[in-house]
Amino acid sequence: METKKDSTEEKILEAAKNVFVAKGMEGARMQEIADEAGINKALLHYYFRTKERLFEAIFSGIIKLAFPKIMTIVQSEASIVSKIEQIVDAYIDLLIKHPFIPGFVLKELNRDPSGLFKLVVKFGLNPQSVFDQIEQAMDRGEIRRMKPQHLLSNIVSMCVFPFAARPILSFILFKDDPSALEAFYNERATVIKEFVINAIVIKK
């Protein structure tokens, strides 16, 4: 009996994820996906008629991983500082589990940004409400004044970029000790939270 995990469809999705992540939509070959899944090309097309459809399935699956958790934090009742801490924790936690996401998403959104449009609509994302929350906290004197776009960019950059640039970090910062890279990623949440709080919280 086959569990859902090793059904052919699951094997294909897993293989396709690996190949698409490693090679991108353009670089991925259907033959390679079939090989990685341990099946043949005919059966691969039998399940997912075209490369486009298969890619779409993978891509939307990856995106769905990231959005919902962030949204619930944003819409909660916590203080702005607490929300920032929660978002950093959630981001780093997700990225440690799925470190390939940033590189993959960046590559594909640069190739075809139209996918982003659909997603923003689909998830009903509204950045203005986030900007408002941040500006209200500044009005109350909780955090230093700066454009919300800059604050968000700073936080997301520090969370995401070290994963997008993993090969570079691995080589420049940790070329002698690869296991130190894992330790580094595990420290990120704590470091970023402290860094941001020192940067923006006004001490009384």
Chain residues in the site for DNA (CB under 7 A): 8, 28-31, 38-43, 45-47, 49-52
Out of DNA, a second copy, none, which partner does residue 88 contact, by CB within 5 to 8 A per kind? none
Helix, strand or coil for residue 143?
strand
Q: Which residue in 7, 140, 144, 178 binds a second copy (CB under 8 A)? A: 144
**Alpha helices, DSSP H, located in 51-79:** 51-74
Helix, strand or coil for residue 201?
strand
Distance between CA atoms of residues 45 and 202, nearest Å: 59
Distance between CA atoms of residues 15 and 58, nearest Å: 10
Q: How far is the CB of 38 from a second copy (least distance, A)?
A: 25
Residue placing its CB nearer to a second copy in the complex, 47 or 174: 174
Judge whether 56 and 17 are in contact, CB under 8 Å.
Answer: no
Residues that bind a second copy (CB under 8 A): 23-24, 26-27, 103, 106-107, 109-111, 113, 116-117, 120, 125, 127, 144, 146-147, 149-150, 152-154, 156-158, 160-162, 164-165, 167-169, 171-174, 184, 187-188, 191-192, 194-196, 198-200
